[in-house]
Amino acid sequence: MHTQVRRTLAQSLALSTSIIIAYLWLSIPSLAQYSLQAFGACFIFYFILKKANEAAIWEVLPSTAVDEMVLVTFAFLILIGATGGASSIFFSLVFVYLFFVSMTMERWTSIIITLLTLLFFYALNPNISTQVEFSHLISIPLVMVFFLFAKYQYEQAKEKQTLLQIEHNEVHSYKIFLDQKQKELSSAEQTTLNWLEYFEKFMFVFLQPKLEQTLQMMEFPQNHNAVKGQLTLIRIELERLKDWFKKNRSNTRDEK
């Protein structure tokens, strides 16, 4: 908040100074006769500033840099003031200037500079003799109100678009998160199914037939060595199953 107030004060002071200098320039006859030359010099210096501010060649409009708007203010006002003020053929450039101010400066700066611009043209010619001059002066604050309203609408639309973009990014991120969790769940389910399938084969394809075969062989004493061999095979397979469980448990921990 304090930063915005300081920026508003700095902008208002800089542009107000430029308006006062333009008025003093036009009030001194020896300087006023060089107004067009001063406008041309400001025009050239303006593009030098644009280059110094690292602007692209096609970026003609002023940026938020105050130094650029100071030059624009002085150049526009001495051109219009030197060619007739409120009755100048170039008076429409005032609306271009107000547009620049509204889009690059703070809201209160725009309001203050609008009032000072109106006062500038009135001070150049206090005796308003025609309806055209009067309508020109009245149009200055009205046009600025329109520009500020348009800027407010633009900022609201831009803010809404930014919020929608943020919401879209969050939804996209959440979707990626859900997809990742779904893959992890599928992987866990597949691992569980593999365990169950292996365990089922061991129990009912290997162990159960071996036990039945061993029980049948134990009915005859002469089959003692054969029964011992069958039990040894069961023990070996149990060791393999234990190793398989240990290996899969280790892989599962590494994936987590």
Note the pLDDT tens digit of each residue in 192-205. 666 666 666 666 66
Domain stop point among 89, 109, 127: 127
Higher pLDDT, 35 or 256: 35
Q: What share of the chain has pLDDT > 90, as a percent?
A: 29
pLDDT of residue 142: 94
pLDDT of residue 82: 92
In a domain, 179, yes or no: no
Based on the fold, state whether residues 107 and 13 are members of the same structural domain. yes
Please state the pTM of the whole predicted model: 0.63
Residue 185 pLDDT > 80 = no
Say if residues 62 and 72 touch (Cβ distance below 8 Å).
yes
In Å, how far are 49, 67, 71, 104, 224 from 63, measured between CA atoms?
A: 10, 9, 12, 6, 100
Only one residue has tokens 């110094």, namely 52
Based on the fold, state whether residues 21 and 90 are members of the same structural domain. yes
In a domain, 143, yes or no: no
Higher pLDDT, 175 or 56: 175
Based on the fold, state whether residues 212 and 103 are members of the same structural domain. no
CA-based R_g, the chain, Å: 43
**For the segment 133-149, what is each residue's pLDDT rounded down to a tens digit?**
889 999 999 999 999 99
Based on the fold, state whether residues 29 and 117 are members of the same structural domain. yes
Helical packing angle, 35-52 and 2-27, nearest 10°: 150
Based on the fold, state whether residues 122 and 45 are members of the same structural domain. yes
Based on the fold, state whether residues 39 and 114 are members of the same structural domain. yes
Domain stop point among 86, 101, 127: 127
In a domain, 157, yes or no: no
Based on the fold, state whether residues 117 and 211 are members of the same structural domain. no
Higher pLDDT, 71 or 226: 71
Domain stop point among 87, 111, 127: 127
Based on the fold, state whether residues 12 and 116 are members of the same structural domain. yes
In a domain, 92, yes or no: yes
Residue 211 pLDDT > 90 = no
d(CA 232, CA 244): 18
In a domain, 144, yes or no: no
Closest CA to 140 of 194, 102, 180, 193: 102
Based on the fold, state whether residues 27 and 101 are members of the same structural domain. yes
In a domain, 159, yes or no: no
d(CA 92, CA 234): 101
Range of the domain at 249: 184-255
In a domain, 51, yes or no: yes
Based on the fold, state whether residues 85 and 190 are members of the same structural domain. no
For the chain, what is the domain count? 2
In a domain, 151, yes or no: no
Lowest average pLDDT, out of 23-27, 43-47, 138-142, goes to: 43-47
Lowest average pLDDT, out of 6-10, 125-129, 147-151, goes to: 125-129
